[in-house]
Amino acid sequence: MSNNLLTGKKGIIFGALNEMSIAWKVAERAVEEGATITLSNTPLAVRMGTTNELAQKLNATLIPADATSVEDLTEVFRQSTEVLGGKIDFVLHSIGMSPNVRKKRTYDDLDYDMLTSTLDISAISFHKMLQTAKKLDAINQYGSVVALTYMAAQRTMFGYNDMADAKAMLESIARSFGYIYGREKDVRINTISQSPTMTTAGSGVKGFDSLVDFAERMSPLGNASADDCANYCITLFSDLTRKVTMQNLYHDGGFSSMGMSYRAMEQYLKGFDFKDENGKIIYG
């Protein structure tokens, strides 16, 4: 259902890989709400994923770009303002990847080149995006930039690994850049801290199924889905939230404020810790 919240607005959505991607749902909802958009993802993702289908369906130009490359990002903003016919009103950064997670390196055995890559792809790319947009003066007054994050930035979550460090940095960039971009251009920058969601990136996290189940049992409203997240993004892109900036906004069914729920406790009582032959707890 459309409320025409984005009528006449122009946006760039980074990170739609396939139908499960949060960015995919955001792109669909943004167009439904009256926006015109461009899409961007890495050349490899464009080849391997189904972003092209989305671009066709939404009549959106797809601009391949590696978000760690300032040159590529400059092209995305340049081409987007050209095809959309003016400055941009909203941007979604929906990008995350950890080579350490992919290669199953644990947090106490990180490969540091891979850590650098995790931070560059998942956090510094956000700074590069903002700096590029600002230098090109590509975003309209009261434009809205949103990046997706996860609560492992604040609280240690099993298996989230170096992505927790990347998310902490991502959220910090939203505040630090939000101050400057707000002060000088009235552009707002926020992060949405989303529930665990079954996507390609999400399912790479060790024990992800259990995490989803635990979060579901802990959250009074249950986990927020990718569709729910898309709706929340639309409100942040819209003019209804013009004074919201530099915030990390929890979108998690209440999980972040919970200590223990009845549903989680009930499940806990049914099980016991996994122990090895010496009676030591196996942490994984």
Ligand X SMILES: NC(=O)c1ccc[n+]([C@@H]2O[C@H](COP(=O)([O-])OP(=O)(O)OC[C@H]3O[C@@H](n4cnc5c(N)ncnc54)[C@H](O)[C@@H]3O)[C@@H](O)[C@H]2O)c1
Residue ranges in contact with ligand X by CB under 6 A: 15, 17, 21-23, 41-42, 45, 66-68, 94-97, 121, 148-150, 194, 196-197, 199-202
**Which tokens belong to 42?**
């890495």
Task: Please identify, using beta-carbon distances, which residue of 150 and 214 lies nearer to ligand X.
Answer: 150
- Least distance in Å: CB of 71 to ligand X? 13
- Least distance in Å: CB of 102 to ligand X? 11
Q: Report the C-alpha gap between 227 and 24 in whole angstroms.
A: 9
Task: Please identify, using beta-carbon distances, which residue of 196 and 253 lies nearer to ligand X.
Answer: 196
Q: Report the C-alpha gap between 48 and 18 in whole angstroms.
A: 9
**Which tokens belong to 147?**
């990046």
- Least distance in Å: CB of 206 to ligand X? 13
- Least distance in Å: CB of 213 to ligand X? 13
Residue type, 138: A
Q: By C-alpha distance, which of 41, 120, 133, 60 is closest to 90?
A: 133
Task: Please identify, using beta-carbon distances, which residue of 159 and 196 lies nearer to ligand X.
Answer: 196
Task: Please identify, using beta-carbon distances, which residue of 178 and 202 lies nearer to ligand X.
Answer: 202
Task: Please identify, using beta-carbon distances, which residue of 48 and 265 lies nearer to ligand X.
Answer: 48
- Least distance in Å: CB of 39 to ligand X? 10
Report how far Cα 264 is from the mean position of its chain's Cα atoms. 27
Q: Taking CB positions, which residue lies at the least distance from ligand X?
A: 202
- Least distance in Å: CB of 246 to ligand X? 18
Judge contact between 166 and 118, C-beta under 8 A.
yes
- Least distance in Å: CB of 131 to ligand X? 16
Residue type, 237: F
Task: Please identify, using beta-carbon distances, which residue of 41 and 81 lies nearer to ligand X.
Answer: 41
Task: Please identify, using beta-carbon distances, which residue of 41 and 80 lies nearer to ligand X.
Answer: 41
Task: Please identify, using beta-carbon distances, which residue of 96 and 178 lies nearer to ligand X.
Answer: 96
- Least distance in Å: CB of 174 to ligand X? 12
